[in-house]
Amino acid sequence: MADRPLTIKRPEAFGRVAVLMGGLSAEREVSLKSGAQVLDGLRGRGIDAFGVDAQANVLEQLTDQGFDRVFNILHGTGGEDGVLQGALDVLGLPYTGSGVMASSLGMDKWRTKLIWQAAGLPVPEFAPVDEQSDVDGVIAQLRLPLFVKPANEGSSVGVTKVSRAEELAPAIAVALRYDPLVLAEQFIGGGEYTVAVLQGEALPAIRIEAAGEFCDYDAKYLRDDTQYHCPCGLSVEREADLRRLALQGFSLLSCSGWGRVDFLLDETGNPYLMEVNTVPGMTDHSLVPMAARVAGIEFGELVWRILETSFEVRKGWKGFK
């Protein structure tokens, strides 16, 4: 994990801040909502912040308008996958969150799972699939029900729960609309949890209880009947284990600054790492602000502390001299 950032006392120390939002990914609308919340929170703390909708000329906008640093709240491809991070490194513009490698790995669910699996961390059984996959073989390996998902999307975009054999091929076709790399994943049925990470610390765990089959895009952002439990209901010891595992999974990918690690628990309470989010949502339905509130961190302080992570010195990049 990267070095801890400086503690900033005065809003002027941040300079002129671009809040990058929107973009061109399938998560554009979520990013715009997140960005609006972040922008209000930063301005409420006296920070000279400006919203920037990241279109094709985004790098030109950042340089022409004289920004000193970037609060990146671009979800999905182009903003969360290392592409933007590499461009900002070249420009010499500090930014929030993880660097190039961690962002790229974190966006790729397949390679994330391979790394965690190689390190001995628990992950659901999984297999890459495409339109040529042997349906019967996939089901024999993973059993029904199972999930099919694009490897490089977030917010449950393109995810399908498959309960019958005839549903598998159409589910793969849906996921392929969003990404050429698609995963089938074992169903783990003991509950969905998430742990936010902020400046090297794991925040209280949240248990997610969706009214539908699973916590899909609508459940996350549109419906009001999804329930979030924080405290999560686990014993103190079980939650501490979950938070330690979140930090371990986060660190193994070289993630830094802030983020969120998602889990599934089986029926006996054993945790399985699902994925990491290096630019999590910050909408009024989002989980990082919820966990922060339970930890005693109000939204203005949260976005301030995330912006502090733009002062981190990330390993492996010293900039052009």
Regarding whether 148 and 236 lie in a shared domain, the answer is no
High-pLDDT (> 90) share of the chain, %? 82
State the average pLDDT over residues 134-159: 88
Regarding whether 215 and 296 lie in a shared domain, the answer is yes
Q: Output the six-digit token pair for 197.
A: 């990470």
Provide the pLDDT for residue 320. Answer: 46
Among all residues, which ones are annotated catalytic? 27, 155, 221, 260, 262, 275, 277, 281
Regarding whether 215 and 114 lie in a shared domain, the answer is yes
Regarding whether 289 and 204 lie in a shared domain, the answer is yes
Answer for the pair 242, 263: CB distance below 8 angstroms, yes or no: yes
Regarding whether 296 and 206 lie in a shared domain, the answer is yes
Q: Output the six-digit token pair for 47.
A: 């920070």
Regarding whether 85 and 223 lie in a shared domain, the answer is no
Regarding whether 295 and 207 lie in a shared domain, the answer is yes
Regarding whether 217 and 118 lie in a shared domain, the answer is yes
In a domain, 57, yes or no: yes
In a domain, 319, yes or no: no
Q: Of 216, 236, 235, 234, whose CA–CA distance to 226 is shortest?
A: 216
Provide the pLDDT for residue 27. Answer: 87
What range defines the domain where residue 50 resides? 11-96
DSSP line for 72-117: E---STTTSSSHHHHHHHHHT--BSS--HHHHHHHH-HHHHHHHHH
State the average pLDDT over residues 180-201: 95
Query: Residue 217 sits in a domain of what CATH number?
Result: 3.30.470.20
- Return mean pLDDT, the chain: 91
In a domain, 38, yes or no: yes
High-pLDDT (> 70) share of the chain, %? 91
The pLDDT tens digits for 26-42 are 889 999 999 999 999 99
Total number of domains in the chain? 3
State the average pLDDT over residues 137-156: 88
Regarding whether 193 and 267 lie in a shared domain, the answer is yes
pTM over 0.85: yes
Provide the pLDDT for residue 321. Answer: 36
Rounded to whole angstroms, how far apart are CA atoms 192 and 156? Answer: 13
